[in-house]
Amino acid sequence: PELTAFLGEQGLEPRKFPEFMLVLDSFPFTPAGKVDKRALAGQAGIATGRLAEAQGAA
């Protein structure tokens, strides 16, 4: 609720609001120093662009 209120105050259209947010202590990096998107997706519980179910996701 606070984030959506803040984004609205900044003039962002509601259709552009993020569907979810994930708070991380740090980003996973590849040996080359880039953000490891696969590891990040695993941390977020995302499978093929959708949120995975909390239990039963393989």
In a domain, 24, yes or no: yes
- Domain extent for 55: 19-58
How confident is the model at residue 54, as a pLDDT? 46
In a domain, 3, yes or no: no
How confident is the model at residue 13, as a pLDDT? 94
In a domain, 2, yes or no: no
> What is the pTM for the complete model shown?
0.47
**Cα radius of gyration (the chain):** 15
How confident is the model at residue 25, as a pLDDT? 85
- pLDDT single digits (tens) 1-53: 788 899 999 999 999 988 777 778 888 999 999 999 888 887 776 544 555 45
The total of structural domains in the chain comes to 1
In a domain, 54, yes or no: yes
CA 28-43-8 angle, to 5 degrees, is 95
In a domain, 11, yes or no: no
